[in-house]
Amino acid sequence: MALTSEDKVAIARKLDELGVNVIEAGSAITSEGERESIRAVAAEGLNAEICSYCRIMKQDVDFALASNVDSIHLVAPVSDLHISVKLRKDRETVRQMAIETTEYAREHGLIVELSGEDASRADMDFLKSLYIDCVEAGADRLCFCDTVGLLVPERTEALFRDITSAVRAPLSIHCHNDFGLGTANTIAALRGGARQAHVTINGIGERSGNTSLEEVVMTIEWLYKQKTGINTKEIFKTSRLVSRLTGIPVAPNKSLVGGNAFTHEAGIHVHGLLADTSTYEPIKPEVIGRERKIVLGKHAGKSSVTLALKEMGLSVDDTQLHEVLDRVKEMGDHGKRVTDADLQTIAETVLNIQKEAKVVLEEYTVVSGNKVIPTASVRMKVDGKEVIEASIGDGPVDATLASIKKGIQSLGDVQLEEYHVDAITGGTDALVEVLVKLSKDGKMVTSRGARTDIVMASVEAVLNGINRLI
Ligand SMILES: CC(=O)SCCNC(=O)CCNC(=O)[C@H](O)C(C)(C)COP(=O)(O)OP(=O)(O)OC[C@H]1O[C@@H](n2cnc3c(N)ncnc32)[C@H](O)[C@@H]1OP(=O)(O)O
Ligand SMILES: CC(=O)C(=O)O
163 lies in a domain?
yes
Residues 204, 128 within the same domain: yes
- Give the atom of ligand 2 at the shortest distance from the alpha carbon of 176: 6
Q: Which of 1, 29, 51, 55 should be mutated for ligand 1, with most atoms under 8 A from CB? A: 55
Gyration radius of the chain over CA positions: 33
Atom of ligand 2 nearest to the CA of 119: 5
Q: Are residues 411 and 286 in the same domain?
A: no
Is residue 57 within 6 Å of ligand 1 at its C-beta? yes
- Ligand having the closest approach to the CA of 116: 2
Domain boundary among 323, 351, 379: 351
Residues 310 and 325 in one domain: yes
Does the CB atom of residue 75 touch ligand 2 within 6 A?
Answer: yes
**CATH code for the domain in which residue 400 is found:** 3.30.160.270
Q: Which protein residue's CA is at the shortest distance from atom 25 of ligand 1? A: 30
The ipTM is 0.96
For residues 270 and 374, membership in a common domain is answered with: no
Q: Is 450 left (phi over 0), alpha (psi -120 to 50) or beta?
A: beta
Q: Do residue 190 and residue 302 come from a single domain?
A: no
* Domain assignment of residue 330, yes or no: yes
Distance separating alpha carbons of residues 264 and 289, to the nearest angstrom: 17
Report how many domains make up the chain: 3
Helices then strands, each counted (H, E), the chain = 16, 15
Q: Which helix (H) or strand (E) holds 6?
A: helix 5-18
Residue 95's domain comprises 5-246
179-184-189-194 Cα dihedral, nearest 10 degrees: 110
Give the model's confidence band at 307: pLDDT under 50 very low, under 70 low, under 90 confident, else very high: confident
CB proximity list for 326: less than 8 A, separation 6 or greater:
none
Does the beta carbon of 102 sit less than 6 angstroms from any atom of ligand 2?
Answer: no
Overall pTM > 0.90: no
Q: Mark whether 285 and 333 lie in a shared domain.
A: yes
Pairing of the two strands 375-382 and 359-367: antiparallel
Q: Whose CA is nearest to atom 6 of ligand 2?
A: 147
Residue 349 CB partners (closer than 8 Å, separation 6+): 448, 449, 450, 460, 464
Among protein residues, the one whose CA lies closest to atom 21 of ligand 1 = 30
Identify which of 41, 47, 45 has the alpha carbon closest to the alpha carbon of residue 8: 41
- Chain segment 408-423, per-residue pLDDT in tens: 998 888 999 889 888 7
Question: Of the ranges 29-33, 169-173, 341-345, 351-355, which one carries the lowest mean pLDDT score?
Answer: 351-355
Q: First-to-last CA distance in the chain?
A: 62
Q: What are 210's strand-pairing partners?
A: 176
Atom 4 in ligand 2: residue holding the nearest Cα: 147
Residues 236, 305 within the same domain: no
> Using one digit for the tens of pLDDT, what is the confidence trace for 253-282?
999 999 999 999 889 999 999 899 999 999
**Judgement on whether residues 23 and 64 belong to the same structural domain of the protein:** yes
DSSP states of 422-439: EESSSSTTSPEEEEEEEE
Domain end call among 351, 386, 413: 351
Judge if 110 and 13 occupy the same domain. yes
CA of 115 to the centre of ligand 2 (A): 8
Q: Which atom of ligand 2 is nearest to the CA of 205?
A: 3
What is the arithmetic mean of pLDDT over 166-174?
98
Kindly state if the Cβ of 174 falls inside 6 Å of ligand 2.
yes
User: Which domain CATH number covers 313?
Assistant: 1.10.238
Phi, psi angle pair for 297, to nearest 5° = -165, -155
Closest ligand 2 atom, residue 118 Cα: 5
Same domain, 332 and 370: no
> Which CATH number is 217's domain given?
3.20.20.70
Ligand 1 pocket, 284 CB below 6 A? Answer: no
Residues 39 and 148 in one domain: yes
Q: Summarize pLDDT for 400-453 with one digit per residue, the tens.
A: 999 999 999 988 889 998 898 887 666 777 788 888 888 888 777 777 788 889
Distance in Å, CA 145 to ligand 2 centroid:
5
Say yes or no: 290 and 271 in one domain: yes
Pocket test for ligand 2, best of 24, 143, 176, 206 (most atoms within 8 A of CB): 176
* pLDDT tens digits, 195-225: 999 999 999 999 999 999 999 999 999 999 9
Q: Is 326 within a domain?
A: yes
For residue 30, the ligand 1 atom closest to its alpha carbon is 14
